[in-house]
Amino acid sequence: QVQLQESGPGLMKPSETLSLTCHVSGASLSSGANYWSWIRQSAGEGLQWIGRIYASGRTDLNRSLRSRASISADTSSNQFFLRLRSVTANDAGIYYCARLGWMDTHFDLWGQGTVVTVSS
Amino acid sequence: EIVMTQSPATLSVSPGERVTLSCRASQGISNNLAWYQQKSGQAPRLLIYGASSRATGIPARFSGSGSGTEFTLTISSLQSEDFAVYFCQQYDHWAPMYTFGQGTRLEIQ
């Protein structure tokens, strides 16, 4: 079955660039069947959609994060990535990768999440 | 940005009871509404999409309804495994943008 697995550094210092990876197994990013997304969750902000990427490389980002976030993909390794520049304590939380379902209206499959802490 | 408001924030109920959770959108979203269940330490799990369609493997005791700005998730007879936090989520295809409600926590009374 399709599975998503996030990986990342865990602990960041303020002003650093966060880089996260989502490895997809059981499905091919290059098939173009789905959009793939990043979502984060924190006590302060709740669940926040960060952005999505399609097989073609087309991305859409949350307007509030557009100046700092970018999403890319490597179809040869079946992975997609999040980069978030200039992190602050407000960027701490659990980061999930997820698959967008039919008609791209909902997230039908989630990774287990990776915890990001920001501290000097 | 479309804001999603869930009520109540917390609901204390007993197993076997019927429960209804509410979600309101700040503007009309047609039926672009999904519901998720999240248990402690786990990722959210999709329950309902398109306001009323059950996701694969979701028991029939979960049902969704509504359109426009008012939506509900009903659990017909609460089981012990249903005590969790429930989130609604909308999709604005014009933006595109996805936003979540702040969640309703179901507690054992």
In angstroms, the separation between the Cα of residue B103 and the nearest Cα of chain A is: 8
Which of B98, B99, B105 is the best mutation test for A, with the most CBs of A within 10 A?
Answer: B98
CA separation (Å) from B59 to A22, B28, B63, B74, B81? Answer: 29, 28, 9, 12, 12
| Per-residue pLDDT tens over the stretch B16-26 | 999 999 999 99
Q: Write down the pLDDT at residue A102.
A: 87
Q: Write down the pLDDT at residue B95.
A: 87
Q: Do B43 and A112 touch (CB under 8 A)?
A: yes
| Per-residue pLDDT tens over the stretch A23-80 | 999 999 888 788 999 999 998 889 999 999 998 889 999 999 999 999 999 999 999 9
Q: Write down the pLDDT at residue A32.
A: 79
Nearest CB to B46: which of A37, A52, A106? Answer: A106
Please, what is the Cα angle at A1 between B55 and B84, to 5 degrees?
45
| Per-residue pLDDT tens over the stretch B35-54 | 999 999 999 999 999 999 99
Residues of B in contact with A47 (CB under 8 A): 44, 87, 89, 100
pLDDT less than 50: residues of chain B: none
